[in-house]
Amino acid sequence: MKNVYNAIKPELKVLKECEDTAGCWHKGITKNLGGANVGRDSTGIGDGIFIFKLVDGTNISIDDHGSSYVTNMFGVNYNKSAYVFWVDANGDKRPNTVGRDIFAFVLTNKGLIPAGTYSNDYCNPQSTTQFSGTTCTAKVLAEGKIAY
């Protein structure tokens, strides 16, 4: 993950970097769209992650996932392991919820693909699965608003 980060870093205005520690993600637990806790307290989403904060206040957490997760959890048709960028668009401000202010993008050989491009099964506020909200990124970008 650090190599991916170092490759994109020259294009970003980074305020702070954190490697699997608190300080670059909002304080408290991240929620999924259904309201359940996901991620770790104040650290980001995932294990063994790299997190950074941009000068505009955006927080980004990078995690890696196997091909089945990329397809099934993130709704991106990619048959390889990939890095997932969790973007907390409003940084430390609430609601700190996947599908509301935190959105996932999958890095493939074609670039960053919005989660939910091929399937948005988990973009449903009534979903009780831990993945609730992970595939809302493509829906929000296509519609230009959060309408769920």
Distance set, CA 59 to CA 12, 24, 25, 47, 66 (Å)? 12, 6, 6, 16, 23
pLDDT of 74 reads: 96
Q: C-alpha angle 54/9/49, rounded to 5°?
A: 75
Enumerate the domain spans of the chain.
2-143
- Residues 84-137 pLDDT 10s: 999 999 999 999 999 999 999 999 999 999 999 999 889 988 888 889 999 999
62 three-state secondary structure: strand
**Helix (DSSP H) and strand (DSSP E) numbers for the chain:** 3, 8
Mean residue pLDDT of the chain comes to 94
Give the global pTM: 0.95
Q: Which two tokens stand for residue 21?
A: 């520690």
- Residues 62-91 pLDDT 10s: 999 999 999 999 999 999 999 999 999 999
Strand partners, 14: 54
